[in-house]
Structure 1
Amino acid sequence: MSSTPQPTVRPMRPDDLAQVVKIAKRAYKETFSDLQESRGIEPWSDRRADAEEGERITSLQLAEHILKTDPETCLVLEESGSIKAAVMAMNREGMFVMSLTAVAPKAQGKGYAQSLMQPMHQMVDTFPRSLGVVRADETIRFLFPWNYDVHPAMRAEGAIDRGRLPVIRSVRDGDDSDRELCVTTDRRLRGASRGPDHDLLAASSRLFVAEQGTAYGYAYAHPNGSPLTVAASSTALARELLVGCLASGESGSVALVRNITSEQRWAFDVVRRLGMSLHLAGPVVVRGMALPAPYLPHDALG
């Protein structure tokens, strides 16, 4: 009499990544209308498998980066040789950054999430701080008992009204010499540097930095002007950085501003002024720390 195969949680391997990304794309069902082909905005939604020279980061490249830097916090749940669910997370100077939690759509409702969340909970408990942007409803249900603070968020989408762009005075293009400014901003707001994530972001997007008196900050922008993340020590510079990102896209291009929580009123002020439409999105969650502000987190890199 043969026994029923049991699901096994194990460390993720490089040869798992194609299947993990496929699961993530199917599990995350947000629709961005005109932005679905804008690779590098929503980390797990790009439709094309391979990047061409000079194009944005793909889901697979992002997954490769996370697994390379933090293999000990990347897990899969496997049954009968097939991956049913996956977790990818990062350790950034003692901060646990949740990057991906996904269950294959056809495998949902079978207890796989529960089996995978148990070792994830054990990992979370070893870190003093945690940050993440959550897309899966099932993940949110698990996080409440883990003492996470859940901050509902919105996204803004649309072509901006360029006639209403305010003048910006403190924003300039950044380069490698600005890394210390970026790291200082990270540690002030997040309590932890992005570390190697800056290399990934700098290689695939445009860096803006801002300095005004004792205030400072940075942002990374997609070629269409969508900010991938914004971080600053003052709301005035955060506004300027967000405007700088949105202004950098081509006229008529559709941009997206993600992860706007109620604490980021400055971002709501900018997107409403520029005529962008607002939509509900997944929440930003934190544990053992206050929600960084003024700050727009990256979907997968916190």
Structure 2
Amino acid sequence: MDAVRVRPMRKDDLPSAERASAATFLEAERVTRRVSDPEPEPRSAEASRQWIARMGFFLRIDPRGCWVAVDTEEAADTVVGFAISQNRGGLWYLATYGVLPGHQGRGVGRRLMDAALAHADGRPGIFSSSVHPGATRRYRLAGFSLHPQMRMIGTVDRSTLPVVDGLREGGADDIGWMDQLDRRLRGAGHGPDHAYLLGIQRLVVSRDGDRPGYVYMDIHGHATLLAAARPDTAQNLLWEALATSRGTTLVNCITSPNEWAVDVGLAARLDIGQEGYIAVRDMPVPAPYLASGHFL
């Protein structure tokens, strides 16, 4: 009898799910590590707390999209797999998904993905995917197109930074037009995700007539979510993020329709490489747009 049961996630699953996530993605990074890449490191205590807070937010907002696989033979239903998805208006996205290495190849991932996709109820979908062969096979069989994405990393050459005008600090009163821009680019607004991100990250916006745009930045100045009506606005927003970055910076989730970001990164003397896929179903790849790994 199969000891692994797939069921809706509960709040008290979050710590066990975080441990499963940390172990799953650490092993995936080790397996896919390139020779030039640094040795993967375990998730920090602070990053673990952030993961739990973020997934707790998803669980509060749209609990029916949150699923876990638990080993009923272990104490307290130990989480061995997870699929956290969300519906936002007419769009579905997968925030995170994984199965512990020791439980892979047994159909657990398929059952989790089936549960998450049932929640989509036919909506167009988007998520950021690793290069794990088992996962990408499952995504393609579910009807998703896999678009290779790039990442740029390095220390910004400060002498390359241009003067950027027309930007200002953003706030809660910007969410309305930001959601309108989201709908134009990805078919649905971020809705409550904007309020959550505003509480933990810096928001910079452009309100220049027909050229609106916004970028969220984490404490390191990394652009974590960027949307704009035009590529030149998107470039200005990315330059602002690079100007505030400290030490080694990262720009990721760059797809081929967003080569404007490649041009900025190369001009700033960052190195370019490949990193996973943006998976979409029944929708184009958004542009000008840099997706967030969890909020898409």
From the superposition, tell whether residues 179 and 115 of structure 1 become closer, same or farther in structure 2 (CA, over 3 Å).
closer
Q: Show the counterpart of 2:23.
A: 26
Question: Residues 218 and 241 of structure 1 are in contact (CA less than 8 Å); yes or no, is this contact kept in structure 2?
Answer: yes
Q: Is the 8 A contact 1:216 1:237 kept in 2?
A: yes
Return the alpha-carbon distance in structure 2 between the equivalents of residues 165 and 209 of structure 1. Answer: 18
The 1:12/1:264 distance shift into structure 2, 3 A limit, reads same
Rounded Cα–Cα distance in structure 2 between residues aligned with 1:279 and 1:98: 24
TM-score for both structures, normalised by structure 2: 0.89
- Which 10-residue stretch deviates more, 61-70 or 129-138? 129-138
Q: How does 1:160-175 map to 2 (within 5 A)?
A: 160-175=156-171
Amino acid at match of 2:159: G
- CA 1:256–1:183: 2 relative to 1, 3 Å: same
Corresponding residue for 1:42?
none
The yes-or-no answer on 1:67 pairing with 2:62 is no
- 8 Å contact kept, 1:225–1:249: yes
Aligned length: 283
Tell whether 2:261 aligns with 1:264: no
Work out whether 1:47 is the aligned partner of 2:44. Answer: yes
Residues 215-265 of structure 1: CA distance to partner in whole angstroms, max 9, x if unpaired? 101000112221001100000000000111111224xx2111110111111
The amino acid of 2:285's aligned partner reads L
Mapped partners of 1:70, 1:127: distance in 2: 16
| Residue of 87, 92, 115 corresponding to 1:119 | 115
Separation in 2, partners of 1:167, 1:132: 34
1:123-162 matched pairs, under 5 angstroms:
123-124=119-120, 126-135=121-130, 137=132, 138-162=134-158
Change (3 A) 1:225 1:16: same
Matching of residue 254 in structure 1 with residue 248 in structure 2? yes
How far the C-alpha of 1:109 sits from its partner, in A, is 2.4
> Does the aligned pair in 2 maintain the 1:46–1:59 contact within 8 Å?
no
In 1, Cα distance between equivalents of 2:83 and 2:20 = 11
8 Å CA contact retained: 1:217, 1:233: yes
Where do 5+ consecutive residues of structure 1 fail to align? 37-44, 52-56
> Residues of 2 paired with 1:107 and 1:61: CA distance?
26
Q: Contact 1:96–1:129 (CA<8 Å) still a contact in 2?
A: yes
On the 8 A contact 1:89/1:96 being kept in 2, the answer is yes
Going from structure 1 to structure 2, the CA distance change for 1:27 and 1:216 (only over 3 Å counts) comes to same
2:64 aligned partner, one-letter code: E
- Residue 94 of structure 1 and its aligned partner are, at CA, apart by 2.0
Using the TM superposition, give the Cα deviation of residue 172 of structure 1 relative to its aligned residue in structure 2, in angstroms: 1.6
Q: Structure 2: how far apart are the matches of 1:229 and 1:33?
A: 25
Normalising by structure 1, what TM-score? 0.88
> What is the CA RMSD across the aligned residues, in angstroms?
2.1
- Aligned counterparts of 1:164 and 1:142: Cα–Cα separation in 2: 43
Task: Find out whether 1:179 has 2:175 as its counterpart.
Answer: yes
Look up the SS of the partner of 1:28 in the other structure. Answer: helix
- Picking from 79, 84, 109, the partner of 1:83 is 79
Please give the alpha-carbon distance, in whole angstroms, between the structure 2 residues aligned to 1:202 and 1:254. 24
CA contact (8 A) 1:46 1:58 kept: no
Higher helix share: 2
Contact 1:85 1:102 in 2 (8 A): yes
